[in-house]
Amino acid sequence: MAVKIKKILVPLDGSANSFRGLDTAIQMAREGHSTITGLYVAGITKPRTNDPITPLEKILLEHAQKIMKKAKLRSAKQGILFFDVVSYGDGGKRIVDIADKKNFDLIVIGSRGLGTMKEMFLGSTSNYVLHKSKKPVLIVK
């Protein structure tokens, strides 16, 4: 029995590995006529609506916009519909939560990101997602 993959979630942090994950997702999306949602998780608490934006928030949001623009262009060149989402909080937890709540069929994640904490074989975020997600996870090296 073949599983239809229609919605692919790709966490992006700007690292080469996260874009390798995107490239793999693009190939899969072309074959399965799927859509891709790029997810950038800013590792800070979500700002309150009425609070002025801090310099750190501004830097993170500009970084997110730059990454998403690059990812959207890369996907569009291959004819793939790309959506972008920016979220706040702990990266691994947010990825797993969003994958479940938005009913994604697959998470495609790079094996290591930009994080400073490195584990022996997997980055801490990809390791968390692999072990905590109820959705299938493809880790791209």
Residue 80 covered by a domain: yes
Enumerate residues 6+ apart whose C-beta is below 8 A from 82.
Answer: 35, 36, 37, 38, 71, 72, 75, 76
Residue 100 covered by a domain: yes
CATH, residue 18:
3.40.50.620
How confident is the prediction along the chain (141 residues), in pLDDT tens digits per residue?
Answer: 457 899 999 999 999 999 999 999 999 999 999 999 999 999 888 877 787 888 998 999 999 999 999 999 999 999 999 999 999 999 999 999 999 999 999 999 998 654 444 444 456 899 999 999 999 999 998
Give me the domain span that covers residue 112. 7-140
Q: Could you give the CA distance from residue 128 to residue 77 in angstroms, rounded to a whole number?
A: 32
pLDDT the model gives residue 113? 56
Cβ atoms of residues 38 and 68 within 8 Å: yes
pLDDT the model gives residue 49? 76
| Number of structural domains the chain divides into | 1
* Burial letters 122-141, b for 16+ CB under 10 A, else e: bbbbbbbbbeebebebbbbe
Q: Could you give the CA distance from residue 82 to residue 85 in angstroms, rounded to a whole number?
A: 10
Residue 76 covered by a domain: yes
Is residue 14 left, alpha or beta, with left meaning phi > 0 and alpha meaning psi from -120 to 50?
Answer: left
Tokens found for residue 136 = 């299938």
pLDDT the model gives residue 116? 43
Residue 21 covered by a domain: yes
pLDDT the model gives residue 119? 42
Residue 126 covered by a domain: yes
Global confidence as pTM: 0.90
Residue 1 covered by a domain: no
Residue 2 covered by a domain: no
